[in-house]
């Protein structure tokens, strides 16, 4: 799926390998950061969700939680204004041997895209170290709401 931003065309491809069973998120070139608009992040998340529904049965459930955690940790997501940055180590592909790790990345991508969309409208969300919302600030109304 192509994403055009800053005069560059970023291309993502999702591939399924049989031996060993794995899902690959492939970039069109080696990089450590791919910057895309939040709309394209939503589209990528939708494609990832469709892939999960297609391969979930043949992959089976993960038995080792350490594998899931290490696989989902190979990607970081950050946002600024209307952009989502996908931060990885210098590579052209990410390999997931469990659908659960791929699903965790999908959910994180959706959350980051949503935060970028809200930030573009002037709503900024702060999270605590457990990932729970701690503060919501609307810069247009100059209003801050603490949660809990």
Q: What does the alpha-carbon distance between residue 143 and residue 42 come to, in Å, rounded to a whole number?
A: 28
Per-residue confidence of the chain (148 residues) as pLDDT tens digits? Answer: 555 555 467 788 999 998 889 999 999 888 888 899 999 999 999 999 999 999 988 888 888 899 999 999 999 999 988 899 999 999 999 999 999 999 999 999 999 999 999 999 999 999 999 888 899 999 889 999 998 7
Residue ranges covered by each domain of the chain: 2-121
Give the pTM. 0.86
For residue 86, give every residue at least 6 positions away whose Cβ sits within 8 Å of its Cβ, in sequence order, or none.
Answer: 33, 34, 35, 36, 75, 76, 77, 109
For residue 70, give every residue at least 6 positions away whose Cβ sits within 8 Å of its Cβ, in sequence order, or none.
Answer: none
């Amino acid at each position: 799926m192509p994403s055009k931003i800053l005069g560059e065309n970023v291309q993502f491809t999702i591939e399924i390998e049989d031996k060993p069973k794995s899902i690959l998120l492939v970039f069109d070139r080696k990089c450590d950061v791919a910057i895309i608009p939040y709309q394209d992040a939503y589209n990528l998340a939708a494609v990832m969700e469709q892939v999960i529904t297609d391969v979930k049965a043949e992959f089976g459930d993960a038995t080792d939680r350490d594998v899931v955690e290490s696989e989902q940790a190979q990607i970081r997501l950050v946002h600024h204004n209307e952009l989502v940055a996908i931060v990885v180590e210098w590579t052209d592909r990410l390999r997931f041997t469990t659908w659960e790790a791929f699903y965790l990345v999908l959910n994180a991508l959706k959350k980051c895209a949503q935060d970028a969309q809200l930030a573009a409208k002037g709503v900024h969300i702060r999270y605590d170290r457990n990932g729970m919302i701690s503060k919501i600030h609307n810069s247009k109304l100059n209003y801050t709401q603490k949660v809990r």
